[in-house]
């Protein structure tokens, strides 16, 4: 599915507006440890993390991560949002917890895979 | 200390990045630039991905654990060679440092998501050969080699 489709289905706020809305999503990963994401996140993932430091963008680029989801309505600095736009990575935000976002995402992706 | 890998053959391709303490941005960019450059050379996606991961982890280790350093990405013969050299505290026990989960990263670094103790293990996993040499109080040299594999010497150097 595309990032755009995900936005609607999971009710996410696109912090980076229309950045990478056509990006393809095939899998997901949840982790706050950057080296763990580098080692284990599948390609074309949505990455759910509470990390909001600029380094998450470098990791996302490295792993072809199409979108990053920030849970619990956590604040994201403007500089990070601007950098994400420049790098073509979608930053999305949810008012739900990482657990709830992951649960919903899993359901949607599994349904699509069937 | 390890002999420079380039002494015996002229590199046909070379990237060179200075990496400084706390400069996360430059370190991250060294990895994405490497990825782009190796892609443009037409290397296998697997080789490109592994090289970029090694550059990222090595650069972040310099940023986090050392004072300053340089990172070189070279293609010599049938290998991508990534060489990271730094001035810094060095690694007193390399075997211990290689173990997944071992980290001396301070609290504020861990809060940013570093310090899983997985970087060196990732580099090992992504390379065909990884050599780490270090002198406590002086610095660290890390050299990773990735075989290009058959039929894939990069376009420009064939
Ligand atoms: N260039 C270096 N200079 C000094 N010490 C280093 C260097 N690189 C690694 N180390 C030491 O080796 C340990 C393990 O490194 P490794 O990259 O595996 O994990 P980390 O950097 O602590 O965490 P992660 O890479 O998962 O974010 C580090 O915590 C540090 O003690
Ligand atoms: Mg590390």
Interfacial residues of B (vs A; Cβ cutoff 8 Å): 24-25, 27-29, 31-32, 35, 52-53, 56-57, 60, 112-119, 121-122, 125
What is the pTM (predicted TM-score) of this model? 0.92
Query: Within 6 Å (CB) of ligand 1, which residues are found?
Result: A 34-35; B 57, 61-62, 64-66, 86, 88-91, 97, 102-105, 114-121, 140
Per residue in A37-86, pLDDT tens?
Answer: 999 999 899 999 999 999 999 999 999 999 999 999 999 999 999 999 99
pLDDT beneath 70: ranges in chain B? 1-9, 150-158
What are the boundaries of each domain within chain A?
3-113
For B68, residues 6+ apart whose C-beta sits below 8 A from its C-beta are B18, B19, B20, B21, B62, B86, B87, B88
State ipTM.
0.90
CATH superfamily of A3-113: HprK N-terminal domain-like (3.40.1390.20)
CATH number for the region B18-152 comes to 3.30.565.10
Q: Are B50 and B124 in contact (CB under 8 A)?
A: no
Percentage of residues of chain B with pLDDT beyond 90? 82
What are the boundaries of each domain within chain B?
18-152
| Dihedral sign for Cα atoms in the order A84, B108, A51, B122 | positive
């Amino acid at each position: 599915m595309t990032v755009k489709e995900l936005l609607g289905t999971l009710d996410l706020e696109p912090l980076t507006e229309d950045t990478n809305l056509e990006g393809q999503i095939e899998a997901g990963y949840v982790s706050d440890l950057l080296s763990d994401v580098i080692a284990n996140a599948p390609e074309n993932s949505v990455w759910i993390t509470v990390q909001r430091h600029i380094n998450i963008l470098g990791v996302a680029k490295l792993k072809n991560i199409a979108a990053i989801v920030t849970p619990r309505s956590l604040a994201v600095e403007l500089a990070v949002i601007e950098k994400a736009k420049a790098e073509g990575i979608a930053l999305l935000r949810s008012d739900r917890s990482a657990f709830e976002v992951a649960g919903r995402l899993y359901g949607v992706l599994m349904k699509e895979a069937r | 200390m390890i002999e420079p890998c380039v002494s015996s053959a002229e590199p046909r391709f070379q990237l060179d990045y200075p990496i400084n303490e706390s400069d996360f941005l430059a370190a991250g960019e060294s990895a994405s630039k490497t990825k782009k450059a190796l892609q443009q050379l037409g290397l296998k996606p697997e080789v490109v991905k592994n090289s970029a991961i090694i550059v990222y982890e090595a650069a972040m280790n310099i940023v986090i654990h050392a004072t300053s350093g340089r990172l070189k990405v070279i293609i010599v013969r049938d290998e991508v060679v990534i060489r990271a050299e730094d001035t810094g505290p060095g690694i007193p026990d390399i075997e211990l440092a290689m173990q997944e989960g071992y980290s001396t990263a301070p609290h504020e670094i861990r809060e940013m998501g570093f310090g899983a103790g997985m970087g060196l293990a990732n580099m090992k996993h992504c390379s065909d050969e990884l050599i780490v040499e270090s002198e406590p109080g002086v610095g660290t040299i890390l050299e990773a080699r990735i075989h290009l594999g058959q039929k894939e010497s990069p376009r420009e150097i064939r």
